[in-house]
Amino acid sequence: DTLWDLAIAEVEKRENPDDDGKRVEVWEKSVLFMGNKNGGKTTIILRCLEREEIPKPTLALEYTFGRRARRHNAPKDVAHFWELGGGTSLLDLIRIPITSNNIRSFAAVLVLDLSKPNELWTTMEKLLQVTRNHVNKILSKLEKTNAEVATEIKQRMRNNLQRDHPDYELVDPFPIPLVIIGSKYDIFHEFDSEMRKIISKTLRFVSHYYGASLVFTSKSEALLLKARVLINHLAFGYDKSKSVSVDHSKPLFIPAGLDSLSQIGPPPASDSDIGKMRANTPLELWKKVFEKTFPPKNFCDLQDTKDPAQDLQYAEYEVDVMRAQKNQELEQYKRNASKSWKEMDFDSD
């Protein structure tokens, strides 16, 4: 048999009914990981895929995948994992993995470094805003070409909350499934109790407002396992956990739809301070309260970005030798050109 014969036979085997008489269906999901630079995104992905590898710095946008079988002898489902590097410096790359072809099976994971609260809101706001704008553009186009799919996607996100939930009309669900991970909990746990409370309550509000799941994690295997539960739900359709931990003195774990504004409480500020803050939306009010305690730090994700051509993990001897040669030729050309201009006799008239 040729390779094509074998491929055709494999496809026919997958499409034939299984022992129960049901058609075997292979799922494909896509998940975009984004967040703080050096926030632990790669480590989380590797642990989810059960790979014993040493994490390397992510350059631009990287891709990997994982496969899981829902039961014995069943075809393996595929999850495409995309990771955006550079923190908020490469926002334009978000549009590459999210397309109209995969929007129905796409999800996002936002990893926020709990040890850097002064960068937390800015990072979260920029990444979620750009992602949301891009997804909404796709949905607007879908409404003209396939209104049924666009409506299904929007309704799916509303269904994270039961219709009888008291906050059903008060939240603004993110257009695709979202998990927010607070990383480096081991450092965060050493913070002052009041600081931890403000950060925890704020992230609970943001997650609930967007219809997202929230989990705090670190390099601890037990905490990474909790993050894996939520990510495996997005990537492979595993059962959604119903356990909840909302105590701000412990790592938070709150699956989407299992929190409420009444349990979260008001923004952590005095009534007089809140009265002085001009905010048009609840989200804006929480932002002002949070940034009063943790003023946004002026930082640039690009300032520590190395030239990819000098990164040893991408070294290729033949390519690097040729590049060095071309660089030398370019410098020689510049010197010759400069000399030619200097020797040129311009007519003063």
In DSSP notation, 158-202 reads HTTS-TTSTTTTT----SS-EEEEEE-HHHHTTS-HHHHHHHHHH
How far from 154 is each of 81, 149, 160, 211, 258, CA to CA, in Å? 23, 9, 11, 12, 19
Helix (H) / strand (E) containing 30: strand 28-35
Residues making up the chain, counted from first to last: 349
What string of pLDDT tens digits covers the 349 residues of the chain?
678 777 777 766 665 555 454 555 667 899 999 999 888 899 899 888 888 777 777 778 899 998 887 666 777 888 999 999 888 888 899 999 999 888 989 999 999 999 999 999 999 999 999 999 999 999 999 888 888 888 888 888 887 788 888 898 889 999 999 999 999 999 999 999 999 999 999 999 999 999 999 999 998 888 888 899 999 888 888 887 888 999 989 999 999 989 999 999 998 887 777 777 877 888 999 999 999 999 987 655 544 555 556 666 667 778 888 888 888 888 888 888 777 766 665 555 5
| Domain locations in the chain as residue ranges | 24-293
- How wide is the angle at C-alpha 263 spanned by C-alphas 262 and 264, nearest 5°? 95
The CATH number of the domain covering residues in 24-293: 3.40.50.300
Q: What is the pTM of this model?
A: 0.78
Query: Nearest Cα to 217, choosing from 89, 33, 67?
Result: 33
d(CA 203, CA 187): 17
